[in-house]
Amino acid sequence: MKHGKIPLIVTFLVPPLLLYVVFVVSPYLQAFQISTTDWLGYSAEANPVGLANFRALWHDDYVWNALKNNAILLALVPVFTIAFGLFFATMLSMGGRRGRAGVTGVRGGAFYRTVYFFPQVLSVVIIAALWKEAYHPTSGLLNGILRVVGVSGPAWLGDPDTAFWCVLAVMVWANVGFYVVLFGAAMSAIPREIYEAVLLDGASRWTTLCRITIPLLWDTVQVAWIYLAVAALDGFILVQLMTNGGPNFSSDVIGVRMYDTAFGSETKFGYASAIGVVMFFLTLSVAVLALRVGRRERIELS
């Protein structure tokens, strides 16, 4: 048995490890190196400039503005998404206990679950295109509804006061479905007896959710939090497609800044790599922080 083990390990571990090194680790390392050069991206020449790119970054108002927006996304997207996700999942799996013993979901739960999952099936590009039309100031769905009520709606994506929040809303909308399913699956793993016991003790739904469901789901919520936090630090595709950071940089995010610096209005690949390095460390710290803060005693269900 023993002599057959090593070839097995090698065949199964080396190829993925190699792929990982070539396509993940090496680009990261290269980005670190490029970020210390003035490389302009269209020739093989690059001069080392030390930390000059990072010094310039520190004084770049546009980068700070983008970071501020990312910070808002980081603070709000996970909260809203998880709150909606928990609410819908709870309703679907134990919302309908009206007058009956036992714990059941609302009527038509399977149907809702499918509908909530729709955005997850669509590509982000399609979501962006859909919402761009919904936000269309004259023929869009939103302003169409507002017109029926007799209100003339704002220009949504065309107004710096609303554009960013419009994108944020789409981000939450696009994510909720997945977390409904995720939380739903986790909830179904919680033993029914616990709920029946709380029910007998006369706990309200709110108490059940806060005292029983969430603590038992904590691992899942924590994972969701990290995923969403990382997604909030990115946000690139939606923003680029819906507003491209505008109007007047009001919906800019750090990913768009990086892309624009390298491929958009300039070809400063060295500077863009420096932005990328900053993003890397921000994402890493957020993930580590989220894991640390979220660490709790695991509850054993046995």
Residues that bind another protein (CB under 8 A): 21, 25-26, 29-30, 32-34, 37-46, 135-138, 143, 152, 155-160, 243-244, 246-249, 260, 263-268, 271
- Comparison of 113 and 268: residue with beta carbon closer to another protein: 268
Measured between alpha carbons, how far is 74 from 294 in angstroms, rounded to an integer?
A: 16
Q: Between 40 and 287, name the residue whose CB sits nearer to another protein.
A: 40
CB of 248 to another protein, least distance (A): 4
Residues whose CB falls within 8 Å of the CB of residue 100, separated by 6 or more in sequence, listed in order:
none
CA distance 173 to 116: 9
Helices (H), the chain: 5-20, 26-34, 52-58, 61-94, 109-121, 124-134, 141-149, 163-188, 192-200, 205-207, 214-234, 236-242, 254-259, 269-293
CB of 187 to another protein, least distance (A): 41
Residues 238, 244: Cα–Cα separation, whole Å:
9
- Tell me the chain's radius of gyration from C-alpha atoms: 24
Minimum distance, C-beta of residue 117 to another protein, in the bound complex (Å) = 30
Residue closer to another protein (CB basis): 91 or 155: 155
Q: Output the smallest distance, CB 26 to another protein, in A.
A: 5
Using the Cα atoms of residue 51, residue 271, residue 76 and residue 286 in order, give the sign of their dihedral. negative
In the bound state with another protein, the residue whose beta carbon lies nearer, of 195 and 271, is 271
Q: Which one, 56 or 194, has the nearer CB to another protein?
A: 56
Q: For residue 106, give Cα distances in angstroms to 89, 91, 113, 203.
A: 10, 6, 11, 19
Minimum distance of another protein from residue 5's CB (angstroms): 22
Question: Of 170 and 181, which CB lies nearer to another protein in the complex structure?
Answer: 170
Q: In angstroms, what is the minimal distance from the CB of 230 to another protein?
A: 24
